[in-house]
């Protein structure tokens, strides 16, 4: 991937990512595979991946915990799978912003309510026990959302876990290595400012579109 040539859109990025994931999983027993997309932006990326693998696709609900006044800056995230809720904090940003335990508790409680509503909307994540799980998002900035997802999948009993995104910050991809068996991120530009800068079309994916893609 040429660093000066952004992906056309999430579907195009998903096709590039699918090539990489298929190569990593060559020779693997695809009967145990499950692809989990992080809604909403991860869903159109995950569709080509699931198709190439011939694997079922579902959603894994994760909520970013945004910094006060900067909702796109993730200071943490929470994820749900089955009856488990996992919390991950970006300790460096928590310290830098001077967030207290009380502030964090309020922020997390607010996102937990939204998490429950999203699970009701998208449906429960299927069992991951002893399966090879590919977790897909549209990009990795801080990696907090993906870390929460990987922890949830690990704790729910997955056999092995692969984290996949078309583009990500070098540091974020490196930090995921301790949580995933494999990290697939074909484009790691440096410097990295925002995921959207690496797509020509990065329009918001709404719930209805994401659900329609999953049901296909």
11: left (phi over 0), alpha (psi -120 to 50) or beta: alpha
Reported pTM: 0.87
18-35 tens-digit pLDDT: 999 999 998 877 779 999
- What is the number of other CB atoms lying within 10 angstroms of the CB of residue 104? 16
pLDDT band with cut points at 50, 70 and 90 for residue 73:
confident
Pick from 139, 170, 133: nearest CA to 152: 133
Q: Tell me what the pLDDT averaged over the chain comes to.
A: 92
pLDDT band with cut points at 50, 70 and 90 for residue 1:
low
Contact (CB, 8 A) for 111 and 78: yes
Residues in the chain, overall count: 216
- Rounded Cα distance, 62 and 91, in Å: 18
2-15 tens-digit pLDDT: 555 799 999 999 99
144-190 tens-digit pLDDT: 889 989 999 998 899 999 999 999 999 999 999 989 999 999 999 99
Residue 89 is predicted with a pLDDT of 86
Contact (CB, 8 A) for 128 and 34: yes
Q: Which string of b and e fits 13-39 if b means at least 16 CB within 10 Å?
A: bbbbbbebbeeebeeeeeeebbbbbbb
- Rounded Cα distance, 190 and 192, in Å: 5
Residue 209 is predicted with a pLDDT of 96
Contact (CB, 8 A) for 77 and 88: yes
Pick from 150, 187, 151, 145: nearest CA to 170: 187
């Amino acid at each position: 991937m040429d660093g000066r040539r952004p992906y056309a859109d999430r579907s195009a990025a998903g096709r590039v990512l699918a090539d990489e994931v298929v190569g990593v999983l060559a020779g693997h027993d695809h009967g145990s595979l499950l692809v989990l997309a992080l809604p909403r932006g991860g869903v159109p990326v995950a569709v080509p991946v699931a198709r190439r693998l011939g694997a079922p696709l579902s959603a894994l609900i994760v909520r970013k915990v945004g910094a006060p006044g900067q909702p796109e800056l993730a200071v943490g995230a929470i994820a749900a799978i089955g009856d488990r809720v996992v919390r991950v904090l970006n300790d460096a940003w928590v310290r830098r912003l001077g967030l207290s335990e009380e502030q964090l508790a309020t922020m997390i409680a607010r996102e937990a309510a939204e998490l429950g509503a999203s699970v009701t909307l998208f449906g429960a994540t299927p069992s991951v026990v002893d399966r090879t799980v590919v977790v897909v998002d549209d990009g990795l900035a801080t990696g907090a959302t993906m870390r929460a997802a990987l922890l949830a999948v690990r704790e729910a009993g997955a056999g092995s876990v692969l984290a996949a995104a078309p583009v990500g910050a070098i540091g974020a991809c490196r930090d995921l290595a301790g949580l995933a068996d494999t990290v697939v991120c074909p484009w790691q530009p440096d410097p990295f400012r925002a995921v959207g800068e690496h797509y020509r079309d990065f329009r918001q994916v709404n719930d209805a579109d994401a659900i329609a893609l999953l049901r296909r």
